[in-house]
Amino acid sequence: MLGAQFDSNVECFTDFAYIRWHARGRNGDGYSASEIDYWARQIREISQRADVFGYWNNDAHGYAPQNCLQLMRKLASL
């Protein structure tokens, strides 16, 4: 996973970006608020020059829908 735990930049070299989020950790933990913030900033930046599509791969605990809604709310507030 690129994101808050790595000091990385996400780059897009096309007119679209596809981001796929997977369950994290051994127990399939959901994404933290700081990770959601990180991805919201990345998506907002990329969306200035490309269409952004995302896919949340659900986990055994069902965090994907919750994390997706958190990200959508964060993007709406930027």
* Tens-place pLDDT, residues 24-76: 666 667 888 999 999 999 999 999 999 999 999 887 788 899 999 999 999 99
Identify the domain containing residue 31 by its residue range: 16-60
Instruction: Give the integer Cα–Cα distance in Å for 37 and 15.
Output: 23
pTM: 0.80
In a domain, 45, yes or no: yes
In a domain, 75, yes or no: no
In a domain, 30, yes or no: yes
Q: Give the count of domains, the chain.
A: 1
Contact 33, 4 (CB under 8 A): no
